[in-house]
């Protein structure tokens, strides 16, 4: 991107994929507004970026609540400027048998994983339209592509993210905004290590026999927000070590 200022919002940026994405976008020259409910973690992410000479702020915010999004966006505007890059990464990834998924659990997951990206897009697309340039990358999941046992609600929410991506891509394709999604698969994050998945036991069953790194996802995101990807929209760029191909 040449003349338009690169100012990125990354949700769920306190650790894992979000932190890796925030760090990579900063390396690519973007100023980063890192959002998360974990205030200490997101402030650490921002400090890591500033330590490398780039501009960044960390904001404690629930990216699934419209009022908190508005407050965080206002702070981003004051500190950094108008947003031209949005990475919808914040999500829950609980495991539960379908018969144990209550309506409350379902609604809470959909609020974070699907309503959140909708609200963030609603809030930030006006900045992109004003700039005549924008990049949105939604982090979906390979679980939406393959399905996953004890992950039906999560798979459904991430399938919705893929559908939202495609719809927005078609709507804004001729207005300077691209919208794509990256579905990770078996990436070695804190969340994976805290889950019921036995990482070492599962790795040999995968095509590459190893988990991916958060930096692999960050690299895919960095490409999709670059000028080199300005003719790519509505695309699903799978980063999963061969778990699923399409």
Residue 129 CB partners (closer than 8 Å, separation 6+)? 175, 176, 177
In the chain, count H helices and then E strands.
Answer: 10, 6
d(CA 78, CA 224): 26
What H or E segment, with its residue span, contains residue 214?
A: helix 214-224
d(CA 232, CA 224): 8
d(CA 224, CA 184): 14
What H or E segment, with its residue span, contains residue 178?
A: strand 177-182
Which residues are the active-site residues? 154
Q: How far is CA 228 from CA 35, 72, 181, 192, 224, in A?
A: 27, 30, 16, 31, 8
């Amino acid at each position: 991107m040449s003349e338009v200022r690169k100012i990125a919002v990354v949700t769920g940026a306190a650790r894992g994929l979000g932190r890796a994405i925030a760090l990579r976008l900063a390396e690519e020259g973007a100023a980063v507004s890192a959002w998360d409910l974990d205030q200490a973690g997101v402030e650490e992410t921002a400090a890591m970026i500033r330590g490398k000479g780039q501009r960044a702020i960390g904001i404690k915010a629930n990216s699934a609540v419209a009022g908190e999004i508005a407050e965080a966006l206002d702070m981003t505007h004051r500190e950094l400027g108008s947003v031209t890059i949005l990475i919808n990464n914040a999500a829950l990834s609980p495991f539960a048998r379908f018969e144990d998924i209550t309506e409350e659990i379902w609604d809470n997951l959909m609020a974070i994983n699907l309503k959140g990206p909708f609200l963030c897009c609603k809030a930030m697309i006006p900045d992109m339209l004003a700039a005549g340039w924008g990049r949105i990358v939604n982090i979906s999941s390979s679980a939406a592509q393959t399905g996953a046992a004890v992950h039906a609600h999560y798979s459904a929410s991430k399938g919705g993210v893929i559908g939202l991506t495609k719809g927005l891509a078609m709507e804004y394709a001729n207005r300077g905004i691209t919208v794509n999604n990256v579905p990770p698969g078996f990436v070695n994050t804190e969340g994976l290590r805290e889950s019921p998945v036995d990482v070492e036991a599962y790795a040999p069953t995968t095509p590459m026999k190893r988990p991916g790194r958060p930096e692999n996802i960050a690299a895919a995101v960095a490409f999709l927000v670059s000028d080199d990807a300005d003719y790519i929209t509505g695309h699903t760029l799978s980063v999963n070590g061969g778990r699923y191909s399409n």
